[in-house]
Amino acid sequence: MDRKKLYIETYGCQMNVSDTEVIFSIMARNGYDRTEDISQADVILANTCSIRDNAEQRIYGRIDQFAREKKQRGDVLVGIVGCMAERLKEALLDTGKVDIVAGPDAYRNLPVLVEAARPGHPQIDVMLSHEETYADISPVRLDKNGVSAFVSIMRGCNNVCSYCVVPYTRGAERSRDPRTIVREVCDLHAAGYKEVTLLGQNVDSYFWKSEEGTVDFADLLSLVADVSPELRVRFSTSHPKDISDKLIETMASRDNICRCIHLPVQSGSNRMLEKMRRRYTREWYLDRVAKIRKEMPDCAITTDVIAGFCSETEEDHKDTLSIMEEVGYDYAYMFQYSERPGTLAARNYPDDVPPEVKTRRLNEIIELQNRLGLESNKRDVGKTFKVLVEGPSKRSADELCGRASNNKMCVFPDKIHRPGDYAMVEVLSCTSATLICKLV
């Protein structure tokens, strides 16, 4: 039988990138090869994100584009999968432009849905599961350089932060069998990979229980770090309420666990944190930062910040600016609050900060972070780092680029090393985004 061609666009977080790798694997077993050329595709999928309204609007734009492709060629199926599929369900079929809708726990069923879908007969599966972790599926790696890979260790989220749509789109939290995780990491190492990033919505609540005992996230991190001292380990995302002393001490005890923690703060105001249902205070958060700094003075701390959440005052906003200053974040992802239908916040609190105020506050946050990021980079000038080489730098073919353990991008003139090698560099100067280095 002729093999068919599958084209997938991926939106949203790293978790979605990892899910796309799972989808390619499932579809490959069922007669589909990957294509990067949409005009060659028999099936077009968009693996979507619902986190903010603008993410969804962008995808609606793409659906219109796919509809034009379909009209021209007739014989192509269009599917929406992932978070937006789960959130909007049948409403996506009502657009008349979509043949397949599959939620994040329905990917094993995709070949059946694709087989059954015909123009005018769309197929939908948005069942969420309490068990599905795709543990037995070997993802088809999409990265081109074969150096760094994502490994999903859990799915779903039980936190119910009041602004967040994820518990509704990805369902209840469940952890993946650690044996399958370690096996996947061993396979990656054997295939030449040098870095794995363990992914979960809230990695600190990873937990596995079997006859052999229990494994928490710190234990899992040790197991993965033990695969090889040459293999770097990263992880994302930590929750400030759950990040434990044991985890921080485990990181500190291993050189190959990278010195970078993504610890989303969201707001510096206790009143906002309470309303966001984050279940920590500013003081608790700063205590966690102090513990990280005590154990690993060289550890980068990065964050997510939301500007203009419901009823946020100037005072609350100033608290956000001051906690950012106090922590001195190395990097931050910064957003305006976007009300998501069905969330606790949408049901209980008016989205009452005017758009122009949200924008102004976000700009102040971005401006501050630009300064903090530059200051952080300046502190690294003169230091020596072990860099994992990714490939040529964007600027010049005579330069390589790669990340230090603290996740900062380093560029340096180099004709010796190849992607996947480690190189020792000294930082000579910096921009707000890059450390300019030389080999040592």
The first and second tokens of residue 78, run together, are 């269009």
Closer residue to ligand 5AD in complex, CB, 70/262: 262
Choose the contact partner of 93 out of ligand 5AD, ligand SF4, none; CB within 5 to 8 A by kind: none
Q: Is 164 in the site for ligand 5AD (CB under 6 A)?
A: yes
Given a contact cutoff of 8 angstroms between Cβ atoms, the answer to whether 233 and 255 are in contact is no
Rule CB under 6 A: say whether 52 interacts with ligand 5AD: yes
To which H or E segment does residue 286 belong?
helix 282-295
How far, in Å, CA of 328 to CA of 300, rounded? Answer: 10
As a whole number of angstroms, the distance between CA 139 and CA 132 comes to: 15
- 24 vs 335 by CB, closer to ligand 5AD: 335
Torsion of CA 87, 92, 93, 94, to 10 degrees: 120
Q: Are 120 and 93 in contact (CB under 8 A)?
A: no
Q: Is residue 163 involved in binding ligand 5AD (CB under 6 A)? A: yes
By CB under 6 A, is residue 338 in contact with ligand 5AD?
yes
Task: Say which entry of ligand SF4, ligand 5AD, none residue 49 contacts (CB below 5 to 8 A, set by partner kind).
Answer: ligand SF4
Contacting ligand 5AD within 9-28 (CB under 6 A): none
Nearer to ligand 5AD, 303 or 405 (CB): 303
Q: Is 340 in the site for ligand 5AD (CB under 6 A)?
A: yes
Q: Which is nearer to ligand 5AD, 66 or 335 (CB)?
A: 335
Q: Does 168 bind ligand 5AD (CB under 6 A)?
A: no
Q: Pattern of binders to ligand 5AD over 359-398, x per CB under 6 A?
A: ----------------------------------------
Binding ligand 5AD by CB under 6 A: which of 264, 268, 373, 402?
A: 264
Which is nearer to ligand 5AD, 185 or 301 (by Cβ)? 301
- With CB under 6 A as the contact rule, the residue among 7, 193, 206, 335 that binds ligand 5AD is 335
Neighbours of 95 (CB within 10 A): 13
Nearest approach, Cβ of residue 160 and ligand 5AD (Å) = 12
The least distance separating ligand SF4 from the CB of residue 436, rounded to whole angstroms, comes to 32
Please identify which residue in the block is written with the tokens 């005052």: 313
Residue 340 contact, options ligand 5AD, ligand SF4, none, Cβ 5-8 Å cut-off depending on partner type: ligand 5AD
Which spans of this chain sit near ligand SF4 (rule: CB under 6 A)? 12-13, 15-16, 49-51, 82-83, 165-166, 169-170
* Interface with ligand 5AD (CB under 6 A): 51-52, 163-164, 264, 266, 304, 306, 335, 337-338, 340
